[in-house]
Structure 1
Amino acid sequence: GAVSAFVLSQPSTAADRDHRLRVMLAAPNVPDHERQWHERFGVADVLGGYGMTEVNIPLYGERGKSKPGACGRAYADHFEVEIRDPETDEPVAQGEVGEIIVRPKTANAFMAGYYNLPDKTAEAWRNLWFHTGDAGRMDEEGYVTFIDRIKDCIRRRGENISALQLETEIARCPSIREVAAYAVPSELAGGEDEIMLAVVSELPEAAAASIANYAIAHLPRFMWPRFVVVRDALEKTGTGKVKKADLRARGVTPDTIDLSGHYR
């Protein structure tokens, strides 16, 4: 997660392997981060995990079994986890993206409900399952990979794009220090989205061209961002998350750069 990214962003030193750390948990467990923890710091096991205040930590990785990018499998003695269609609540096919839903097998494993918010509690608890609002997929071994918050997924050209995955990619772009990806409405009919990025860059004047060139070289066309706005900083919540709702509400502003011309 954020702590892992912060540590990995520090300059390498001779003390990188001068420790006794042998196992760690990172959520999300970004594949490139896991590789760096193994190679640079000599950590034997980097585990994924998934949890919410409401549902405890129902998914854990396993020591000795590397699954970069995955959260882990259900802690089966205490939880059931499934992937369902968020519209119909029907199970999705193995490997398909749906909503992560959870329920406990033991008493007092979950919250009892949202305090003084019975409607919100009823909305989350449907058909005997707690609906997390998170998109994910499950493989044949039961490992769940977190995709994104459902409300943060971007629908474009018939594809559901993970804002988190796109942010991870764009963060590799030279000079980009921080990035948030989100949807803004397209001017075209059909209810699809355009991809917009808010970035903090060491080279603000060159950020747009750098991002477009990186996208062309490394991303499928449907993931190419349409708009970029360069900020001095990205406003965050008290828990360190970028305030994407505010960015979406702001939409395309006069200082927004349209990347369309870079893709011709």
Structure 2
Amino acid sequence: MAPEIRVEGLSVWYDRQRALKDVSLNVRPGTVMALIGPSGCGKSTFLRAINRLIEESTPRARVQGHVQVGDIDVYHPSTDVNDLRRRVGMVFQLPNPFPFSIFDNVAYGPRLQGVRDGRTLRRLVENSLKQAALWDEVRGKLRRPALALSGGQQQRLCIARALAVNPDVLLMDEPTASLDPLSTSKIEELVADLRGRYTIILVTHNLRQAARISDHTAFFSNGMVIETGDTRQIFTAPREQQTEEYLTGRYED
């Protein structure tokens, strides 16, 4: 079952620079939460704090606050970070397939978890590619290099790779920013299809995209959450003046 994500009083520092300031935000199970706001306002930092990738990307980062993903207390000393990252998958702005075959990209995670049976691996790869809406395009090409795929196909392959380890949550950091309109449309359709099975947090600078595919939206500015709510409400009747100014293009950071 897709979990709830509860964040309370989350602050992040990069050395002396405070990137997030006492952020509290809940994401309901099986929904899509869009994070919007100007560049550098803390959206990507927020994502990386949820599955502790921030520790790898910025070793000197300091985190304060509470993050709960289902039954996982993310920053508790006993939390298994590898298990956390299996359950909380990440998709980045630029597709990052491994220099392996299509099959081996998707099978990579299950193999690390100890899956060795060929039939089981084939079933996992097929199911993951189907969930990522890529199976029909690559079913006869699984041994071909993943890097030979188009940019949009590579991004869906990365989503399939994340799904292959049976996560509960998908974090997506501007997953369509580098893609053409057709590939963007396919990723948006995929997110809509995955809704309900996974809890999804999506960072996007495309306001129309946020309006199309998210259930709830949070507007970030200067490391803080200015407003959060139902997406329709945020886009049609924002409560905060800063939110309205951002949505109408009059915002000055």
Same fold flag (TM > 0.5): no
Q: Which has the higher strand share?
A: 1
Structure number with greater CO (CA < 8 Å, separation at least 6) is: 2
Which has the larger Rg?
1
The TM-score normalised by the length of structure 2 is 0.29
**TM-score under structure 1 normalisation?**
0.28
Identify the structure with the greater helix proportion.
Answer: 2
